Chain A
Amino acid sequence: MSIVVKDLSFAYGNHEILHNISFEIPDRTLVNVLGHNGVGKSTLFKCILGLESGYTGTIIINGHDARSLGIRERAREIAYIPQTHSSVYDYDVIDVVMMSTGADLGVLGQPKHTHVERAYDALNKVGVATLARRPYTKISGGEQQLVLIARAIAQNARTIIMDEPTSSLDFGNTVRVLTCVRELARQGLSIVQSTHQPDHAFLYSDKTLVIDDGRVWAFGDPKDVITSEMVKAIYCVDVEVNSLYGDTVRVCVPVHAAQHGKQDLKST
């Protein structure tokens, strides 16, 4: 099991964010986490990543209790890919990637040649090795996201958490990033990513976790989980879930828009 969460609860002061959350994520699995803004997805990720420690319940990462892991030990098990962000200083892409390779270095250690090679390998894997010597601040948002994915790969952790990796990307970059993530999961990594697009779950995930009001609303195969009832309950919009290509893919279409479209067709 990559991540096991048992009875996880978390509160900021009196305001409870997560209530008794339990789920298990097997190895080599790509999980999509759905839920509207402010529902506790980021808090859940922070607890799993060890950035918040004031939770009750248990989190087990690759067989280790998260509480017993030191910062460096945890970094060897689980990596984090944040949303693209601008860096204050214009580090070269290769240096940004290399920053994650230091989990085996002591406090005073400096990266060596093997770390440089690990960083290049990771960039190659994601397909952006040609950017190695470009400044990180001067490449596009999609490229930055791929570089951050490479950084997580260079960390050599088996489990990766991604917080809304495609929220600020255009359509083309979204597809590129998600394809890359899909491929990494096939190669043996466990990846948990949050997203706002239920459609993405059909295309780019093995399992879907739906969180609402700090509880697990549903967890399982995307085809079972993502229904018009679920979307209605979570996002408060009416959608029709339709299948394409002999049910290999499904899409969520807003009902209002669909009806308007039909009426337009009739009137013409």
Chain B
Amino acid sequence: MTQSHSYNEACKPLYLHASAENTSSTGDDTGVTLEQELSQQSTDSSLPAEVTSHRRTTIIIICLGVLCLIAAGVSLLLGRFPISPSNAIRMLINSIPFVTIDPTWTNQESALFFNVRLPRIVMAMLVGCCLSAAGAAYQGTFQNPLTSPDILGASQGAALGAAIAILLGLTSLQVSFMAFAFSIIAVLLVLVVASHAKGNRVLVVVLSGVMVSSLMSAGVSYAKLVADPTDQLPSITYWLMGSLTGVHFSDITLVLLPMSVGLVVLFALRWKINILTMGDEEAQTMGVNAKAVRIAVIIAATLVTASSVAVTGMIGWVGLVIPHLSRMLVGPDYRRLLPASMLMGAAFLLIVDDVSRLISTSEIPIGILTAFVGAPFFLYLITRRNTA
């Protein structure tokens, strides 16, 4: 009853509008005033609303960007070995090519700043940005708000790759390579299986993702079983928990290319992801090749997820929770949701990483902390859905 009532309210003026147009030629006074009233109404209610809501979300996105910068600045100063703000700024300026200023810092400070703290902060922001962007994109293309970037087995694949590499006694760089390769292989396997299966495309892809994931995690369990319990098993376990400890600039140069390619593709497809949320058939009748866009999104999201997981290990929840928080702030439109998720993810992971390295003398793996934040939020989310 209430619905049809609101419908009447919405439609009445516009039906009147039509009649006003018809009668205005006869010079009918009421017709003219109605028309004037209506034209005023439409400019008052619709167009400025468009502008203000757009402006509001733009401001939110700018605020998130500023938050990122502040978090990065503060994180540079935080740590067990304090660096003064003036020294931090001077060292940064000094690192710009062709600019040299007299050092007021020690070599030890400089080494810590550039080899430990800065790469770690950059990596935390990159990984947070990537996982959130991939999660947001997946939630749209699979029309499911409970999707995370590892739904297609990217994380479990990486875990298996890393576990095998650790069993073989490879270097940490090689472990990252193996994790990256297995992550990509797992997702390709999902796509091949899904292309041969019949039924609802979205469901088939997600189902094969879940299956391949569990296959990969069985492999990880077996690797743990046969691992040497004195050194290999702890390092596999530690890898699975995810951590940004010991990130170097070489790691960043390694992942920068696949990450930026993936992020650029996701960002470019942001409007098409909107249309995909309406379902494949509707998207197709509106001129969007749903299948091709979905494959492009999957490949791009896999690139960024695999690169993230390869260097940091498993960091869960970021890709699920951040897109939801962003959606609450800027709405479901991916033209704003995607940049908002990227910035919020970067700030979030950086702050959580700061907590993980400052909260106690021995670092807590960041994967554990994100779960502490993520799991309660997830529960809140599903209970809220049921009551709505």
Contact = CB atoms under 8 A, between A and B. Distances in A.
Interface in A114-171: 116, 120, 124, 127-133, 139-143, 151, 155, 170
Given A87-B278, A102-B275, A131 B50 contact: no
B289 A89 contact: no
B14 A120 contact: no
A71 interface: yes
A223 interface: no
B288 A133 contact: no
Contact of A129 (B3, B14, B268, B269): B14
A110 B270 CA distance: 8
Interface residues of B, number: 46
Interface string A23-42: 00000000000000000000
Interface in A81-125: 82, 85, 87-92, 94-96, 99-100, 102-103, 105, 107-111, 116, 120, 124
B331 A92 contact: yes
A111 B334 CA distance: 12
B226 interface: no
A129 B44 CA distance: 12
Given A76-B287, A89-B327, A109 B271 contact: yes
Interface in B9-23: 10-11, 13-15, 17-18
B285 interface: yes
A49 interface: yes
A202 B230 CA distance: 83
B287 A140 contact: no
Interface residues of A, number: 54
Interface in A52-96: 71-72, 74-76, 78-80, 82, 85, 87-92, 94-96
B232 interface: no
A129 B3 CA distance: 17
A50 interface: yes
B10 A128 contact: yes
A102 B50 contact: no
Contacts of B37: none
Given A99-B278, A176-B11, A108 B145 contact: no
A197 interface: no
B10 A130 contact: yes
B46 interface: yes
B288 A71 contact: yes
B287 A51 contact: no
A71 B284 contact: yes
Interface in B275-326: 275, 277-279, 281-282, 284-289, 293
A87 B274 CA distance: 11
Given A71-B288, A72-B287, A88-B145, 16 more contacts: A49-B281, A51-B281, A71-B284, A71-B289, A80-B281, A88-B144, A91-B277, A96-B278, A102-B271, A110-B270, A124-B14, A124-B42, A127-B14, A130-B14, A130-B45, A130-B46
6 contacts: A95-B274, A100-B286, A105-B271, A127-B18, A132-B50, A133-B53
Name the 8 nearest CB pairs between A and B, nearest first: A75-B287, A103-B287, A140-B3, A89-B332, A80-B285, A127-B14, A108-B268, A72-B287
